[in-house]
Structure 1
Amino acid sequence: MSYIPEKNKPIEAISPQAGAGITGTYVSLSNSGKCYVLVHINQASAEPVEITIEQATDIEGAGSKALTNVVPIWADQDCAASDSLVRQTDAVAYSTSATLAHKLVVFQINPAQLDVTNGFDCITVKTAASDPTNITAAQYIHSDLRFGG
């Protein structure tokens, strides 16, 4: 039997908060084989939420810039109706539908696809400004850890 902390490392990216533009915590992927970014949106207004992942050279956000390589994305546009994550088109950003619902969006980040040549090994998740009644939270799940959790 394995346990999440033995094989994966969850880290809070964004604590639940209202729909202003939000920047999550920057995290290093230097010891991760992959990082999954899970974004929960309780969409109470029909205004879509734009989600992006940015890369940086340190956990302070130095040189933060958009991803240049597309990444796999999955989404559940209505968690109350289904628990199915549907594969979306690979991209560097994702916009939710305008449907009022609790949603889950998952980005899969491979650290090797960051701009490693120029020292980029950190990421953050960002949401653009949205309606104040839309609540967003996010977490990172580091997997394939090189040196344990």
Structure 2
Amino acid sequence: MGYLNNLLAEDTQIVTAIVPVDSQAAANNGDWVSLKNYERCTIVLMKAAGVAGDDPVITVRQAKDVSGTDAKALNFTRIDAKVGVQTGIGTFTTVTQAAANTYTDAASAEAQGLFLIEFDAEDLDVNNGFDCIQLQVPDTGSAGSQLIAALYILRGAKFAGAAAASAIVD
């Protein structure tokens, strides 16, 4: 119960993965973040309504450092989503898929969306030195603009301190 008295910045690190951008402009490769000092990372992707056929493809990779050394797929099976007018959706819908490092919600192009994908540090290939993750959202097409933005929320700081440790350095 002691963590309830901590400030968010004391045991949680929030890192911008993808700044607000028109997803049709180019490939959107998020920053790499390190889980060395954290037990868990939640990827939060937000998107505005776009046009039919421009469904975002969510891809997650893992690497050995924050420069992306030896990057490879990081599979996941669960996605929690709110697709539709966000002020009218009170709970997440859990979607499960076969293990893959990519997810596409084929109904989200024309709707607002909020997607969560969570990883424990041990979900990475830690035996081979992988401790960093990256979100990628490729160009969604040229049919129309669609604003996206994403955050990494790292929790379970392994070391106590006045501020949570940086996740953008090794």
RMSD: 1.6
SS at match of 1:88: strand
C-alpha separation in 1, matches of 2:147 and 2:72: 25
Q: For 1:1-149, what aligned pairs fall within 5 Å after superposition?
A: 1-19=5-23, 20-46=26-52, 47-68=54-75, 70-78=76-84, 79-90=86-97, 91=99, 92-96=101-105, 97-131=107-141, 133-148=145-160, 149=164
Q: Please, which runs of 5 or more residues in structure 1 have no aligned partner?
A: none
Aligned partner of residue 144 in structure 1, secondary structure: strand
Structure 1 residues 55-108: Cα deviation after superposition (integer angstroms, max 9, x where no partner): 01110111111114x243201112232132111105432212245222100000
Deviation at 1:50, TM superposition (A): 0.5
Identity %: 28
| Displacement after TM superposition at 1:123 (Å) | 0.4
Q: Could you say what secondary structure the match of 2:122 adopts?
A: helix
Give the corresponding residue for 2:167: none
Q: TM-score by structure 1 length?
A: 0.91
Structure 2, unpaired ranges of 5+: 165-170
Report the number of matched residues. Answer: 148
Distance 1:6 1:83 in 2: 28
Secondary structure of residue in 1 paired with 2:96: coil
Task: Give the structure-2-normalised TM-score.
Answer: 0.80
Say if 2:56 and 2:109, in contact at 8 Å, map to a contact too: no
SS in 2 for 1:89: strand
